[in-house]
Amino acid sequence: MAVQDIMPTWVGATAKQVARGVRRGDVSATQVVADHLDHIARADADLAAFRVLRGGEAITEAEKVDEEEDLANLPLAGVPVAVKENTPVAGLPTWNGSAAVRTPVAEADHEVVRRLRGAGAVILGVTRMPELGLWALTDDETAVTRNPWDTRRTPGGSSGGAAAAVAAGLVPMAHGNDGLGSIRIPAACCGLVGLKPGRGVIPSQLGADDWFGLAEHGVLTTTVADAAVGFSVLAGRRPEKLVPPQRLRVGVSLRSPVRGVSPDAPNRDAVAAAGRLLAAAGHDTVPADPVYPTRLGLQGIATWFAAAAADVRASGVDRRSLQQRSRRHVALGEWAQRRGYVREADRAAWRVRSVGFFSDHSIDLLLTPALAAPPPEAAGWSSRSWRANMAANIRYAPFAAPWNVAGLPSIVVPVGRRPDGLPVAVQLIGPPGSELLLLGVAGQFEMESPWPRHAPGYPRVGTGSPAVA
């Protein structure tokens, strides 16, 4: 059920609006956090976006922000932020998607959490994800996380709780991470901006070995400006003003990485709409289809399996306590590693080929669908078979994974709505180091065709409110 109540003024503001208001004294960080905690208490019962809230601790953190003598250098001053539950937050267990794989209370923050706090953000709590972050469907035996645009649908995964929280205005910005699409898929499901940075730009330090180098941290936001600030903070950089890119040559492809899975009509139409937005911004588009070898798909799936096995080995978890779908995944991962199907040389070869694709086709960026189909139903996928989960994941979200294997930056941007009212999005991929370029083009999309910042019925900031004054 959507929230129809009139919410406090600063609920629904962007991260940049909140930070600016706190820095210039229009509102205290304490008030902003209290308002958001109140909104979460009203709205999250329907969504199950959060695993744990840090109510009292978050208020204390906000008070410390208010006591700072100089807020000028805090780009996220007083901004309520949620952290994905597989990333250590001091004082909380690291849940990793279920009680079975929960680790003890963390003594220290993960580096990305430390950077968020250092920028003035206040951590409200941790958001839900599927067990071990393996699926693009977010639920466990305790709750089913739901999409604010249509609570019968999943918000995606594995950063599903993060996406639901942002789309409903529970927080203006949420941390996520992306091993095979886990930021971009939920962003597409929930009408958000989701950037996966390139390899090595932000410290990963996830699980046993960062999913063999596939996993990256990022943020989910309702605006490109917030995504740019969040990226800068996580990357340890000073925020930069985005500059509209000069004329670019953008390749366009509808080709699916998975044979037999094609984008449906609304997703094809979304790519066409994005092409028109690129033209309106002064860019050129040309057909450019990557060649996705069958071997790449098999290697990617084997790496997905093996990442689960590596994380379970490193954690010492009794695999018998895992969900059935996860047990099967882990067993297949061990088999794939024994057979030698998980090799760094294969991933490196695809990276070289992917980087060369841009120069071979004389393009600056590549445009693809974000999804192939609408988000599946929000249901108890954690108790369904491994086969059912695999089929659902691959059928609706095949477009993200190749760019994790390649380690290239990519972003998902909303471009409209499906006939059923759900948001629809596209993906842009760039060569190494193109994060700001991707954000710049996304900003042009936003200027040419603004999207709804929140799901219908959830809080929006009115034109005359202090948050946008």
Q: Which one is catalytic: 16, 98, 158, 159? A: 158
CATH T-level fold of 15-464: Amidase signature (AS) enzymes (3.90.1300)
Residue 9: the pLDDT is: 77
What pairs with residue 50 in β-bridges? Answer: 127
Residue 178: the pLDDT is: 98
- The pTM is what? 0.96
Residue 13: the pLDDT is: 97
Q: How far is CA 382 from CA 144, 264, 301, 433, in A?
A: 9, 26, 19, 37
Residue 281: the pLDDT is: 97
Q: How far is CA 88 from CA 96, 216, 232, 446, in A?
A: 10, 15, 20, 33
Q: Is 182 a catalytic residue?
A: yes
Q: Which one is catalytic: 16, 84, 98, 410? A: 84
One digit per residue, pLDDT tens: the chain, 469 residues?
A: 454 444 457 999 999 999 999 999 999 999 999 999 999 999 999 999 999 999 999 999 999 999 999 999 999 999 999 999 999 999 999 999 999 999 999 999 999 999 999 999 999 999 999 999 999 999 999 999 999 999 999 999 999 999 999 999 999 999 999 999 999 999 999 999 999 999 999 999 999 999 999 999 999 999 999 999 999 999 999 998 999 999 999 999 999 999 999 999 999 999 999 999 999 999 999 999 999 999 999 999 999 999 999 999 999 999 999 999 999 999 999 999 999 999 999 999 999 999 999 999 999 999 999 999 999 999 999 999 999 999 999 999 999 999 999 999 999 999 999 999 999 999 999 999 999 999 999 999 999 999 999 999 998 443 334 444 3
Residue 461: the pLDDT is: 41
Domain definitions of the chain by residue range: 15-464
390 dihedral zone (left: phi>0; alpha: psi -120 to 50; beta):
alpha
Q: Which one is catalytic: 16, 98, 159, 182? A: 182
